[in-house]
Amino acid sequence: MPARKKIGVLISGRGSNMMSILDACERGDINGDVVVVISNKANAEGLQKAAERGAEALAVSHRDFPDRELFDRAVVEKLEKREVNLVCLAGFMRLLSPWFVSRFRNRVMNIHPALLPSFPGLHGQKQAVDHGVKISGATVHFVDEKLDHGPIIIQRAVEVRDDDSEDSLAERILKIEHQIYTEAVKLFCADRLHVEGRKVFIHDK
């Protein structure tokens, strides 16, 4: 069994995926611990939730910095000080700078509410409904320098119903997000992921 991994989570809001990761760590499903939760918004609901669960919760406002990279450097300083192995974006509404990505290459995960490369960016669920697709879903991927573009770790499909709205589809996709995000984190913390180019390989136990 590899050493337990230290996980940092970045949020901007309620942090529902953060809570699913915390739950999985507490159950022992993940060989790791959430050692810090950082939000760019001091009033983010997820910060209080994280603190109530015993995780260190910090606010670092992007408004205090003149550009994206300087903000990222402040966040990375806090992550590296805590020797974080894996960074999980959970509703973090900021694009990471190339500098940040280079510091944590193949060690930053994101969850997106669509089957990438379809419907990147905001409101993936609405894009799916408006486009009339029959299948959508969720994607966990490693973050690279482009938006919603990095190597894909896990995807899971969700049927798009004829009467779906953005909200109804988002509700069903969110349940899948919680499942596959914790699954991807579990694989990382078990040293079972290997990246070659755009492909992520999952090794046997």
CATH code for the domain of 118: 3.40.50.170
Is pTM beyond 0.85? Reply is yes
Q: Per-residue pLDDT averaged across 140-154, rounded?
A: 96
Count of domains for the chain: 1
**What is the average pLDDT score of the chain?**
96
How far is the C-alpha of 193 from the C-alpha of 176, rounded, in Å? 20
Q: Which residues are catalytic?
A: 112
- The most distant pair of C-alpha atoms in the chain lies apart, rounded to whole Å, by 49
pLDDT at 18 over 80: yes
How far is the C-alpha of 109 from the C-alpha of 89, rounded, in Å? 6
pLDDT confidence bin for 2, thresholds 50/70/90: confident
Q: Per-residue pLDDT averaged across 76-102, rounded?
A: 97
* Residue closest to 128 by CA, chosen among 187, 173, 183, 188: 173
Q: What are the angstrom distances between the C-alpha of 169 and each of 2, 124, 174?
A: 38, 10, 9
Q: Per-residue pLDDT averaged across 95-124, rounded?
A: 97
Pairing between β-strand 108-112 and β-strand 86-89 as defined by DSSP bridges: parallel
**pLDDT of 1:** 74
Q: Which domain holds residue 86?
A: 5-202
